[in-house]
Structure 1
Amino acid sequence: MRLRSLLFVPGDSDRKFEKAAQSGADVLICDLEDAVAPSQKSAARQRVSQWIDRAEDVAPSLFVRVNALDTGFTGDDLAAVVRPGLAGIMVPKANGAHDLDAISSLIDPLEKTAGMEANVIRIVVVATETPAAMFALGSYAPPHPRLAALTWGAEDLGAAIGITSNKESDGSWTFPFQVARAQCLFASANAGVAPIDTLYSDFRDSAGLEVDCRAARRDGFTGRIAIHPNQVETINRCFSPSAEEIAEARKIVRAFADNPDAGTLGIDGKMYDIPHLKAAQKTLAAAGASS
């Protein structure tokens, strides 16, 4: 399952789901949390469950963002959506791996009742939305069998700490949110799961999105959340290795395969060592390419 572009879809709109399904996104995150008013939660659950029943006819993998554990809605969300066709759950406002364990314990019996394999439903955790979460990022390692990725969020964290803005005048993140972003990267690497960058809120600014995505990939993120179908093409392109990168990665991997006892190698006048080999292997994996 590829986690390059993850597009949010409000759980109360068939029209938006149909449009999102044609967007080219790797994953659709059917949202039962912030995009749905409390009075519409029940109807949205029913609608999302119907979308999941159609999963075989939809190209993207289907995830559901459930409501946070402290809302009292999580159990009802999971009971409605854990069924064949569901690929994963997004867990918002997690305070650490203990919340992942709690969610998984709710999924386990539902998965079994639905006749699904154990742990087939994967989990993406929004790992920085509370102050407590910032002190628990190391808890995701070793990873739970369901854990597929960590991502980070700015809005709920900002509300919790009382900010007046999370952006500098040039549009860059203020320092507290630079910390959250970097810590998400480190926590993902520590757990050995995919790091997913947070959304780019101005969906009309395609040029700004591209610059930001290229910076995110440079820093180590392997995918990004989208909030509008028009963002998907840019995200897919920016987080996909170029033909030149794939060719260089193949050259590095083959050179080390031909010299299995070497720790460093000269290739085309440049020196490469084991970290370069690992980076090349990740490039090929991201491209779905063989060596």
Structure 2
Amino acid sequence: MAGIQRTQHVAEHFTMGPAVLFCPADRPERYAKAAQRADAVILDLEDAVAPDAKEQARKNLIEQPLDPERTIVRINAAGTPDFALDLDAVAQTAYRTVMLAKAESAEQLRAIADGGVQPRASIRVIALCETALGVLRAAELAQEPNVVGLMWGAEDLVASLGGTASRDEAGHYRAIARQARAQVLLAAGAFGKAAIDAVYLDIPDTAGLTLEVRDAVASGFTATACIHPSQVPVIRDGYSPSEAQLGQARELLAAAAAAGNGVFRFHGAMVDGPVLRHAEQVLRRAR
């Protein structure tokens, strides 16, 4: 129990989000704009960058600095030739949070801290679970001390299974994607790490994104990643409690203080500890 309490303390101080925007690292002209629009930026050295542009992308990373407290660097998967090169580039910057693409084992996470370059020891890691093996090992990844968060990825996951689409014709996640999403969230929550929801690829569909963000908030995600600046305000609105929700939460907590016992009736419904924690979470999100 003590170990879990310590990791929960780490998660409480992981303040990036709720709207985390991907930005290709080979597009330095977009860095500042992305930082202005989003709560945090993921400078992407992996899928968003063509193989022949990765070297220049690493140079951009070093030469075009952003606020390190609001910046994450997505590095290429362990075992690829770019993995060590990405880490060496990060070590030449003030950035201290990386997202490991296709994370699958604790050994890969330890390699980030034990790579032989001294600044790596202080690097915090978000493990991106986007393969079948990575999702199955999400709880193992969450227990590593340098991990501060987990994220899941739908499209790479389905591709790793030999599938063709993470969503059905109506735009809803298929059962396998919903299971992976839940498994990664449970692993993050069990060990007090931040949980970042996957991107919504249909940029014009703000209604669909709104529904997905509301579900992410209600389920317990810390943040939602996005691929376009227009998605940022939708995500922020979803994570920000309404005045009505805040008022109800304050009223409920005041009633609990007045009741002075564990279980009581509030507007005709029974209220106990978990319901009060829900109300407390609403107030925390407002702060």
State the TM-score, normalized to the length of structure 2.
Answer: 0.86
| Structure 2 partner of 1:131 | 132
Q: Is 1:88 paired with 2:90?
A: no
CA distance in 1, matches of 2:173, 2:128: 18
The aligned counterpart of 1:192 is 192
State the AA in 2 paired with 1:193.
K
* Post-superposition offset of 1:37: 1.5
Name the CA shift for 1:45/1:277 in 2 (closer, same or farther; >3 Å).
same
Tell me the residue number matched to 1:28.
41
Give SS of 1:69's match. coil
**Which amino acid is the alignment partner of residue 126 of structure 2?**
V
Contact between 1:97 and 1:140, CA under 8 Å: does it hold in 2?
yes
Structure 1 Cα separation of the partners of residues 160 and 74 of structure 2:
20
Quick one: distance in 2 between partners of 1:153 and 1:251? 38
Q: Name 1:275's counterpart in structure 2.
A: 274
Which residue of 2 is the match for residue 44 of structure 1?
Answer: 57
Matched residue SS, 1:225: strand
Code of the aligned partner of 1:133: G
Stretches of structure 1 that go unaligned for 5 or more consecutive residues are 112-117
CA distance change for structure 1 residues 252 and 96 in 2, over 3 Å: closer, same or farther? farther
Deviations 1:114-148 (A, max 9, x none): xxxx64x4322112x2222232122145x334322
Paired residue total: 273
SS at match of 1:173: coil
Structure 2 unaligned segments of length 5 or more: list them: 1-14
Counterpart residue identity of residue 136, structure 2: F
Secondary structure at 1:241 match in 2: coil
Is the CA contact (8 Å cut-off) linking 2:75 and 2:87 kept in structure 1? yes
Checking the alignment, whether the CA contact within 8 Å between 2:62 and 2:93 is kept in structure 1 is: no
Q: Please tell me the residue identity of whatever aligns with 1:76.
A: L
Q: Deviations over 1:55-112 (max 9, x none)?
A: 27xxx7011001110112122212212356425111110113332222233387225x
* 2:265 matched residue in structure 1: 266
CA distance in 1, matches of 2:106, 2:243: 38
**Structure 2 residue corresponding to 1:55, chosen from 64, 67, 76:** 67
**CA 1:146–1:287 in 2, change beyond 3 Å: closer, same or farther?**
farther
- Percent of pairs with identical residues: 36
Partner of residue 6, structure 2: none
Aligned counterpart, 1:182: 182
Cα distance, 1:9 vs structure 2? 0.3
Which has the larger displacement, 210-219 or 231-240?
210-219
Give 1:236 shift.
Answer: 0.8
Residue 158 of structure 1 and its aligned partner are, at CA, apart by: 1.7
Please state how far the C-alpha of 1:277 moved relative to its aligned partner. Answer: 2.0
Task: Summarize the alignment of residues 54-133 of structure 1 with structure 2, pairs less than 5 Å apart.
Answer: 54-55=66-67, 61-82=70-91, 85-106=94-115, 109-111=118-120, 119=122, 121-127=123-129, 129-133=130-134
Q: 1:97 & 1:251 partners in 2: Cα distance?
A: 45
Q: After TM superposition, where is structure 1 displaced by more than 4 Å over at least 4 residues in a row?
A: 254-260
TM-superposition CA deviations, 1:218-267 (whole Å, max 9, x none): 3332321100111111011111222222233333444445666x222333
- Confirm or deny: 8 A CA contact 2:126 2:148 kept in the other structure: yes
**Which amino acid letter does the alignment assign opposite residue 29 of structure 2?**
R
Kept in 2: contact 1:78–1:107 (CA 8 A): no
Partner of 2:25: 11
Q: Are the structure 2 counterparts of residues 257 and 80 from structure 1 closer, same or farther at C-alpha, using a change threshold of 3 Å?
A: farther
Amino acid at match of 2:99: M
- Output the amino acid matched with 2:248: E
Matched residues in 2 for 1:181 and 1:51: separation?
Answer: 34
User: RMSD value over aligned CA atoms?
Assistant: 2.3
1:240 is matched by which residue type in structure 2? S
Whole-Å separation in 2 of the counterparts to 1:7 and 1:136: 26
Output the CA distance in 2 between the equivalents of 1:139 and 1:164.
28
Residue identity opposite 2:250 in structure 1: R
Q: Deviations over 1:188-238 (max 9, x none)?
A: 211212221100001122222112222222333232110011111101111
CA positional deviation for 1:30: 0.3
Letter in 2 for 1:124: I
